[in-house]
Amino acid sequence: MYKRLSAVMFPLTALLLLGALVWGYQENQEKNSILIKAENQYQRAFHDLSYHVERLHGELGNTLAVNTTSNGMHRKGLVNVWRLTSEAQNEINQLPLTLLPFSKTEEFLSKISNFSYKAAVRDFTKKPLTEAELGNLKALYTNSGEISKDLQEVQNKVISNRLRWMDVETALATENKAEDNTIIDGFKTVDKRVSAYPELDWGPSVASIYDKRSVKKLGGTPVTAEDIKRKAIKFAGLGSNAKVDVKENGKGTEWPSYTATVKAANNKQSISMDFTTKGGLLISYNDNREVGPAKVSMKNAVSKSEQFLKQKGFPNMTAVSADRYDNMGNLTFVTSREGVLIYPEKLTVRVGLDTGEATGFQASDYVNEHQENRVIPKPKLSLAEARKMLNPDFKELYNRLAWIENEDSVELLTYEFGGKINGSKYRIYLNSADGNEESVEEIRTSSGAQDK
């Protein structure tokens, strides 16, 4: 009996063992194949990074070598600088540096990219490179040369010592002897060098990309939780017997605020609101009621939203777009002053199309950008003169004056033309002083959307 059992079990066991060995070998081969591919990708990205930073240094030198009046060569050089920094940024993103402090170098390359792009796309015949910008290019030339030299030293060590990026990834993930890793030490050296560079004056168009909007510029005295309670009851309109809960958010940070939740005495309705700590300004409103089937038109909803905003302390608001999603509408309003739409002072309203009443709004842009003393000049060009600047194939549907912030973060008066061309709708903003195109926006409409 035992002989028969062993005669059956032994070959079966041997077969299973052999299968396990084959499976383990295949799994190991696949794992090694994946590791080799990852290592090859890391090595390629690193060597490309070193090459592109060296090219960046050379291109900055080429741009500085030509005559200061060579607008064409300056534009060509800056376009190449922008392309090379974009390539370098892409390669950094492919390396396992998420746990390594390399943010200063990434930000430095990002600023070079934005600076070169903003300068290259402008009209050099009207705005050539300034002395300050040429000074920036000289500083960038010197700095990029130092960064390139550091990266090449790391590259030489990687090649001569046959270092692996997979070891870097493991060291960063496990914090195992990360301090002794040659590649990690090299990148830390680069980032430390970059952090020691003096900050350049990149100009308002680039600086605005990195400047964080701060509520510190808001006027008004700080308010207390009791002040917010009174304001919340007034805004909610649920009666004096409503229950109010106030919480302070972000205390000690750059973005402190209060959140007030107001519940009706019968607990059937709840409204939450956010207020600034300075001045107690309402920045968001949310009515949590259920919205039934749509019965109200978007036109009626816009009219009711205008009344709602006026009641909440936002007068002179004009709807500039209205989008419908099932039984909800999203409306965008901006301040209207003497026939000019002020786009920086923007807020959005959410409405339930069952009744047309507002169920919420977001006014952080309005609160931060609203100015009572904003000076708006008269247009230098007439409407007819501005219209001549449009593409002859552009079919105009409407026009109006609009105060906008352009790509250089400069606020200015424009003529806004809405219309159709090439089968799509666009808004085109022409400078009211010289007719230059300041902005072009394609109007993407959802189901039931309206363009105002």
d(CA 13, CA 156): 53
In the chain, domain spans? 15-210, 216-284, 383-451
Strand partners, 421: 424
CA-nearest of 61, 75, 210, 52 to 140 is: 61
CATH code that applies to domain 216-284: 3.10.450
Q: CATH topology of 216-284 equal to that of 383-451?
A: yes
Q: What CA–CA distances, in Å, run from 451 to 143, 315, 426, 445, 447?
A: 49, 21, 10, 8, 12
Q: Are 15 and 54 in contact (CB under 8 A)?
A: no
pLDDT tens sequence for the chain (452 residues): 555 655 556 566 666 666 666 565 555 555 656 667 777 888 888 889 889 999 999 999 998 888 877 888 888 899 999 999 989 888 888 887 765 667 788 888 888 888 888 888 887 887 888 888 889 899 999 999 999 998 898 888 888 878 777 776 666 666 554 445 777 778 888 888 888 888 787 776 677 666 655 444 566 688 899 999 988 888 887 777 788 899 988 776 667 889 999 988 777 778 899 999 888 989 999 988 888 999 999 999 999 999 999 988 898 999 999 888 889 999 999 999 999 999 999 999 999 999 999 999 999 889 888 888 889 999 999 999 999 999 999 999 999 999 999 877 789 999 999 999 999 999 999 999 999 999 999 887 654 444 44
Structure pTM? 0.68
CA-nearest of 45, 51, 206, 65 to 141 is: 65
> H or E stretch including 424?
strand 424-431
Residue 116 has which token pair? 């070169």
**How does DSSP assign 368-411, residue by residue?**
HH--TT---PPPSS-HHHHHTTS-TT-EEEEEEEEEEE-TTS-E
CATH code that applies to domain 383-451: 3.10.450
Tell me the residue type at 255. W
